[in-house]
Chain A
């Protein structure tokens, strides 16, 4: 027993090899024609679906509609010409504009897929009477549509990665100064994320600094370090030991409660490390080790404003 559906499927399989580039081009042209004709309502439908799906919450409806229009036109143009350079440029451009506003990857991919769905639906509606033609139209439409979705998504992700790379470089360039605060006493304030590469750089700078300044005591302040994993912690321990080989004592200050707990939990051996609560305490301890004694002079003369009047 054969149902009409199966007959249709069979004829479809038979017509399968008949797909030729010329036929595809003709179909695409028809498709583009259709999309141009129904530009307004399809665009509105798409914008409506975007709002409905509650994506792009960072943008207002008017903005969504404006962007949707240009995406739509670019989309149709890409379908028509079969070249994706313009679309690539546009999507990079778009990403540049919307990434700073907090638009997520899934949102961008989501809206492009929504457009694909909206257009496919309109094709279903238009060719519902002629299943074979619909099938061939979809054959022409789907690869192009998928490629467009791909291009936009890749463009967005690339843009995002570019931004991340730039930021990483910016962080790396934030120099980590090794400062001498007293004869034989250096401080090394560490701020921000420490990755293995930066950790290495820090250590090198510190060891060089110890040699150049003939330091006996070094205070490493990590108040500005938000998180620390076992890798970085071990690196810190290594830095302390390497400094000791150069004859300098290291005092680590500013371990936050979270970092302290993490370090204990992951079992980093901090027994060899000399730790003091904050930078001030660290410097005081260092002065003690170096034999300094800070004594207040008689009058606090340099409080601003007072000196000028006398």
Chain B
């Protein structure tokens, strides 16, 4: 099942609606990487609220997405990880290091806004 990617001003929002196969994940990755360039986005939010399981491939892909997007000049935030999912992931040793996370979409947007403000203020 394809993941809809919405453009919201400077950001892209990908809301995962149901469990994804490995291929779906790679499609999502390719689509995000492409659209970041196309829309000149500054930030990407991947919403995983609907997922009640995040296996190692999915976690690795999310991490890869974040790193690739960073190389493309934007920030990625993973939002909506469920408490049970979070704990299961940590127990499996998947901690999404160096990937930003936020509680939900609203928090993710706030985080990106803050990040961009800092980026603008810095130079």
Q: Which of B30-79 contact A (CB under 8 A)?
A: 78-79
CA distance A18 to B95 in the complex (A): 76
B79, B96, B103, B104: most-surrounded residue (chain A CB, <10 A)? B103
A211, A216, A242, A245: most-surrounded residue (chain B CB, <10 A)? A245
Kindly state whether residue A161 has any CB partner on chain B within 8 Å.
no
Chain B, Cβ-Cβ closest to A206: B83
Specify which chain B residues have a CB less than 8 angstroms from the CB of A208 in the assembled complex.
83
Q: In the bound complex, do residue A203 and residue B87 qualify as a contact, i.e. CB atoms below 8 Å apart?
A: yes
Kindly state whether residue A210 has any CB partner on chain B within 8 Å.
yes
CA distance A210 to B80 in the complex (A): 12
User: Provided the pairs A211-B103, A214-B107 are in contact, do residues A246 and B90 lie with their beta carbons within 8 angstroms?
Assistant: no
Kindly state whether residue B26 has any CB partner on chain A within 8 Å.
no
CA distance A250 to B50 in the complex (A): 25
CA distance A85 to B87 in the complex (A): 50
Q: In the bound complex, do residue A247 and residue B101 qualify as a contact, i.e. CB atoms below 8 Å apart?
A: yes
Query: What range describes how many residues of A lie at the interface?
Result: 10 to 19
Which one of A204, A210, A239 contacts B103 once the chains associate, using CB atoms below 8 Å? A210
User: Provided the pairs A210-B103, A211-B103, A214-B103 are in contact, do residues A246 and B91 lie with their beta carbons within 8 angstroms?
Assistant: no
Chain B, Cβ-Cβ closest to A214: B103
Specify which chain B residues have a CB less than 8 angstroms from the CB of A241 in the assembled complex.
90, 95
Specify which chain A residues have a CB less than 8 angstroms from the CB of B91 in the assembled complex.
238
Specify which chain A residues have a CB less than 8 angstroms from the CB of B109 in the assembled complex.
none
Cβ of B110 to closest chain A Cβ, rounded Å: 10
Q: In the bound complex, do residue A245 and residue B107 qualify as a contact, i.e. CB atoms below 8 Å apart?
A: no
B79, B91, B111: most-surrounded residue (chain A CB, <10 A)? B91
CA distance A243 to B89 in the complex (A): 11
Kindly state whether residue B102 has any CB partner on chain A within 8 Å.
yes
Chain B, Cβ-Cβ closest to A211: B83
Specify which chain A residues have a CB less than 8 angstroms from the CB of B96 in the assembled complex.
245
CA distance A211 to B83 in the complex (A): 8
Specify which chain B residues have a CB less than 8 angstroms from the CB of A239 in the assembled complex.
90
Kindly state whether residue B81 has any CB partner on chain A within 8 Å.
yes
CA distance A216 to B91 in the complex (A): 22
Specify which chain A residues have a CB less than 8 angstroms from the CB of B86 in the assembled complex.
207, 242-243, 245-246
Chain B, Cβ-Cβ closest to A237: B90
Which one of B95, B104, B111 contacts A245 once the chains associate, using CB atoms below 8 Å? B95
Cβ of A77 to closest chain B Cβ, rounded Å: 57
CA distance A243 to B83 in the complex (A): 8
A243, A246, A248: most-surrounded residue (chain B CB, <10 A)? A246
Q: Scan A225-245; emit 1 where CB is below 8 A from any B CB, else 0.
A: 000000000000011011111
Specify which chain A residues have a CB less than 8 angstroms from the CB of B83 in the assembled complex.
204, 207-208, 210-211, 242, 246
Chain B, Cβ-Cβ closest to A243: B86
Q: In the bound complex, do residue B90 and residue A238 qualify as a contact, i.e. CB atoms below 8 Å apart?
A: yes
Chain A, Cβ-Cβ closest to B91: A238
Q: In the bound complex, do residue B103 and residue A245 qualify as a contact, i.e. CB atoms below 8 Å apart?
A: no
Chain A, Cβ-Cβ closest to B79: A247
Q: In the bound complex, do residue B95 and residue A246 qualify as a contact, i.e. CB atoms below 8 Å apart?
A: no
Specify which chain A residues have a CB less than 8 angstroms from the CB of B85 in the assembled complex.
245
Specify which chain A residues have a CB less than 8 angstroms from the CB of B101 in the assembled complex.
244-247
CA distance A245 to B85 in the complex (A): 9
CA distance A238 to B84 in the complex (A): 12
User: Provided the pairs A207-B83, A210-B83, A211-B83 are in contact, do residues A242 and B103 lie with their beta carbons within 8 angstroms?
Assistant: no
User: Provided the pairs A210-B103, A211-B103, A214-B103 are in contact, do residues A245 and B79 lie with their beta carbons within 8 angstroms?
Assistant: no
CA distance A131 to B107 in the complex (A): 92
Given contacts A238-B87, A242-B89, A244-B101, 12 further A-B contacts (CB under 8 A): A204-B83, A207-B86, A211-B103, A214-B103, A214-B107, A215-B103, A216-B103, A239-B90, A241-B90, A242-B86, A243-B86, A245-B86
- 13 CB contacts below 8 A, A to B, read A203-B87, A204-B87, A207-B84, A207-B87, A208-B83, A215-B103, A241-B90, A242-B83, A242-B87, A245-B85, A245-B96, A246-B101, A247-B107
Which residues on A are within 8 Å of B, measured CB to CB? 203-204, 207-208, 210-211, 214-216, 238-239, 241-248
